[in-house]
Amino acid sequence: MRNKKVIISCGPIPARLDSVNSVKFLTSRYKGGLAFKTAAFLADQCFKLTVVVWKGTKIPANLRNNNIEIVRVEDVFDYYRWFEDNASGYDACIMAAAVANLTPSHPHEGKFPLHNYKVGEKFNIEFEIAPRAIDVVKKVNPRCCLIGYKRFDAQTDEELIEIARHTQADAKANIIFASTPATAKDRKIAVMADNTALPCTFDEHLQLIKRAIMAEYFRTEIEPLTEEERNNPDIREALATVKMFEKTFSGGGAVAVPVNGLPSLFATTSRGHRGEPVIVRNVDIKNSIITATAKATLSVPTLWTMLRLNPHRIVVHRHTDDALYEPDSSGVLTLNGYLFPGTKEEVLMLDKYACPFSRFKFKGHGDIQAFPIHPASWYNYYQDFPGKYTPIPDEMQQLLADADSLESLEIGGSHSVCTKYAYDAFVNARNVINLSWAGVMKTHFDLVVAKNSINHFAERQICAIMERTDQFIANTFLVPPEEIVTDREAAVLDKELGMIRHTLHMPDDSIIRNSFYAYTQEDYERMGFEVTPYGKNSALLKKKD
């Protein structure tokens, strides 16, 4: 611990009304008793401690010794400049001082001339928001453990937490301890970087500070994607799947998606969801190093640990305030005590208890669970996505309505079709005659229908069916999309294979993976179809006479 250099600011830090040598300041009635008590605790932990105070603040006797450095500042501007110049040299900064929020825009040069005014006479002073030293710390020292305080006379815990979260986000602090003036001595709420909010006593808050300072965080070494990797369809598919999940998170949370064919890589969410998804190349637990294409979610080491145990699954971390969070506790291992995300402590705790397919619940910030990657299931397509996959154009519907007396076949129709015969390689239709592929090739049809399914058949199959029917009608997309992402699906174009890679997000957070052909208008015309565009990007296909 002696190697850890820690700053704590204590007492009031006022704004100056006139010259440095004057005694006129705007300040708080706060004297710093609790902050000095916190400083004494840190000194007892044998940290190399620096205490920053205003020049007019009296230092308690228990802090006046040779092992503690005392820094005195003139006012709020001097305080800001000191942190701007010196914070880079410390492992932790604890911003416990009561800093003036308002400062005169133009402090009077020399002593304020009260003799020029009569009693009761009014005058104007222009004020501005004072610079915030807590906002500069992470800019000059990104790996510093930053802890701040927010005291506000809120009516509810929810209001207090929301206010503290704004401070935490602006400063990128590890913890903001929120309290009201009435309860500051006995109760605080620790608002963490992962949106966890933990009520704690004063002594518990001291222990959280100690653990936060001592926590061993992972650092990231950036290796951007190469041009070849950017075009790799396996990587693009994983990144699109992350984008799909990001649309389902209420605020926090993360997902890890392994890259097909490249088991050492996985895609995940960016730090704070502030950028594009990230590819993680490696996690070196021993040396606490993450190699990735950008700054990824703090949960990367934990996600990596779960993926290592479940290499053919995805891993999802949802917070308790997420609309899709499943509170059912059956089969869940609850890890006692708060674990700082992105630390060795969290990874080692998870690794200690982990086994394949486990679900872990973290105190204060939800759970983490591995989910299957299912192969294509047409039943799920039609059951879970009826609004997207069942509508067909009017002309097609009218032809089907008139087809009762025809020898008709629907291909790729899943369990429900509207023809006499059905062919689906995966699902048998109900109440109709199901044919095998060999059976289709032995029969001549008056009509063949493909509702949103023609892209699941190879060109040679489509051409073979065309030879065995008088009429063939289908609907499909007109131009293959490069990428489509919603909260329910992710699709990317594999140009080399001429395929669409399609991922569906199921209600239980598992996913379905499927690929289908990305035919163009020229392809369909070569097969013998007449192509009629409709809608934004749809086409009706009819066999040419």
Q: What is the pLDDT of residues 342-390, one digit of tens each?
A: 888 888 888 777 666 678 888 877 888 999 998 876 666 656 655 555 5
Same domain? 269 vs 415: no
3-state secondary structure of 505: strand
The enclosing domain of 73 has a CATH number of: 3.40.50.10300
Model confidence band, residue 428 (pLDDT cutoffs 50, 70, 90)? confident
Cβ(437)–Cβ(465) under 8 Å?
no
Same domain? 130 vs 66: yes
- Per-residue pLDDT reduced to its tens digit, 48-105: 999 999 998 899 988 887 789 999 998 888 999 999 999 999 999 999 998 878 777 6
The residue with greater pLDDT, 363 or 255, is: 255
- Decide if 97 is inside a domain: yes
Q: Over the Cα atoms of the chain, what is R_g?
A: 32
Cβ(25)–Cβ(14) under 8 Å?
yes
Same domain? 348 vs 310: yes
Number of domains in the chain: 3
- Decide if 504 is inside a domain: no
Give me the helix-helix angle, 300-309 and 344-353, nearest 10°. 20
Select from 214, 235, 258 the last residue of a domain: 214
Cβ(502)–Cβ(373) under 8 Å?
no
Same domain? 346 vs 389: no
- Decide if 490 is inside a domain: no
Instruction: Give me the mean pLDDT over the 402-408 stretch.
Output: 80
- Look at residues 72, 65, 3, 57 and name the one whose alpha carbon lies nearest to residue 40: 65
Same domain? 137 vs 256: no
- Decide if 505 is inside a domain: no
Quote the pLDDT of residue 347.
86
Max CA pair span of the chain: 111
User: Interior CA angle at 134 toward 160 and 139, to 5°?
Assistant: 130
Select from 342, 373, 404 the last residue of a domain: 373
Select from 189, 214, 239 the last residue of a domain: 214
3-state secondary structure of 207: helix
CA separation for the pair 127, 123 (Å, rounded): 13
Q: Does the pLDDT at position 1 exceed 50?
A: no
Same domain? 366 vs 387: no
Same domain? 12 vs 138: yes
Reading phi first (left if > 0) and then psi (alpha if -120 to 50, else beta), residue 414 is in left
- Residue 291's domain comprises 219-373
pTM of the model as a whole: 0.82
Same domain? 79 vs 162: yes
Reading phi first (left if > 0) and then psi (alpha if -120 to 50, else beta), residue 146 is in beta
Same domain? 42 vs 103: yes
Same domain? 353 vs 467: no
- Decide if 325 is inside a domain: yes
The enclosing domain of 361 has a CATH number of: 3.40.225.10
Quote the pLDDT of residue 2.
55
CA separation for the pair 72, 386 (Å, rounded): 68
- Residue found under tokens 């990587």: 235
Same domain? 360 vs 252: yes
- Decide if 387 is inside a domain: yes
- Per-residue pLDDT reduced to its tens digit, 486-524: 999 999 999 999 999 999 998 899 999 989 999 999 999
Residue type, 290: I
- Decide if 161 is inside a domain: yes
**What are the angstrom distances between the C-alpha of 303 and each of 60, 212, 238, 298, 300?**
46, 21, 15, 10, 5
- Decide if 295 is inside a domain: yes
Model confidence band, residue 109 (pLDDT cutoffs 50, 70, 90)? low
